[in-house]
Chains A and B, each alone.
Chain A
């Protein structure tokens, strides 16, 4: 054990805090983060110019709004440690809010967007109240139940919710003359939303708030002991996560032009959990990777739906057992290994 270093002399005159030492709102990004951020943004925005074709572009749109939901899940699970297998239900709130506003009140996409987001956040916070009383695993079961309950409620909602057949949703109102019926424009809309979400996620995780969430995840009693209002923040992160899911939901509704209860049930929720674990719930691009892998794997490997689901399940097992940080963590490790080797060989060359 290190010998105790002589403590700061207590005769030192305390002075006002040096402004340079004031805690900053957000940690400054590293060079790697800036570079990868630019690469990812350029790739996502430039993707349509690679002429991917109608089907791939459609798949990309689905992947993108799914990723938005996954960033919410990554916030609540990766940062705060609260897993949910009911995240689809929150997406469903967003989607159905948008659809009901459209069909019953003629409210279009742009006005419905904040409303969907808000309502999803509120519902997510409400569903989150049990976390204050029960443990993580019990809470997961509760989220599963809420999901099932929502499906039942939607199916029995009569004409208000469109019952089992669901609701039709029109088009997004054009802005600045841009029509979103063109697939490419729809793609850009969703990608912009995704990039904004990733940015928001980045700001949250690299701020004192992110540290607070991680503290709650790592050791809740200790977090309380240092003055963190754990209950308040848990509900808070669930609401933020819900907001992300709400955005994903309304995007999904306006992309599919038709929503039905079975889109937001137990299975979709399980797949969301699976995607976020597969990609990695803690690193910045984990959720995006998870969405890409799960959505594109069947395409790339020409798997039919059944085999692809078996593949998902197996990959999840492999990830949990061997690579708990997900594929993103694995990639980061490879990058670091390469960087170290390059450094090493540089040093060897110079020696």
Chain B
């Protein structure tokens, strides 16, 4: 067997260029007014806005940047002081705190004077109620319309009547978009955008699935970085081009035997949110321990296989109602059990995220049930997506090291 080497992912350079282009375009639109801007929750109806000629900006992506560069810790307390509890989504409190302080990392990174002002805000409650309250804050602040879809969560199944209701709500957004853009909505353009988003989704899924190879060519931590275009540029050709490039590189890495973690000894599944401010240190820790976190519920949340351009509204309603986070624990158990098999997982890391109960699956006995059912050990890390006040470096390190020691002892 060829000797494994751990190397950086080359596509990262193109990723930076693609993301820069995205933000510069938004900045240009905000400055000149040449295009209308929609703000959208990350799993919201972005394709509809793109089809109506809007550029789409995602506050959640902005919040993840605040988490990753840890400036979230300067902004969360500001939002807390303004009545947004430390117990609610720290994406929301980071982002609103930054807004209240009048700062954004987009200034230094891409030369944007400020976050591009919205003409409308869009949401989908498929993830949580927080996105709705978050978008409502901006609708009030900027005095712009808010429109969205109220998808139920904890669903035992995605029922047809739910899909019908979501479809109707999607259709109700169209005249609101038309009133702002001043143009008639072109359903054929919507089909094209949805087809493009589906292609992006398929390529992203295939990219994630390359981690089934042993050793894996990329980790969850790499995926968290490279998922940017699947979130903010889905529905646009740029994202499709980017994932063709990234997928090819993954194939090349597999072919060449390049491992994300040199000497990969264990393969883990990550459930829950990333801990953005600790992405690098956690990645390094797992690498030191020769463990590869190869799959996650989180990165797969931007896979929308049910998009069907021939039935755009209904298929979009169904796809967005079908995301992992919106289903009940029985679904989630089946989902993770399948990933265990597909990715040859030998341990599950659950992130119990203090401010994200909707994307935390440790509160109703799921880890213990899966342990019994799959005979798979697990570890719960108590932390948070952005609020590092909820994170203990030493506790986390000891927990992870001890978990790996335990696996080594048994194996």
Q: Report if A and B associate in a common complex.
A: no
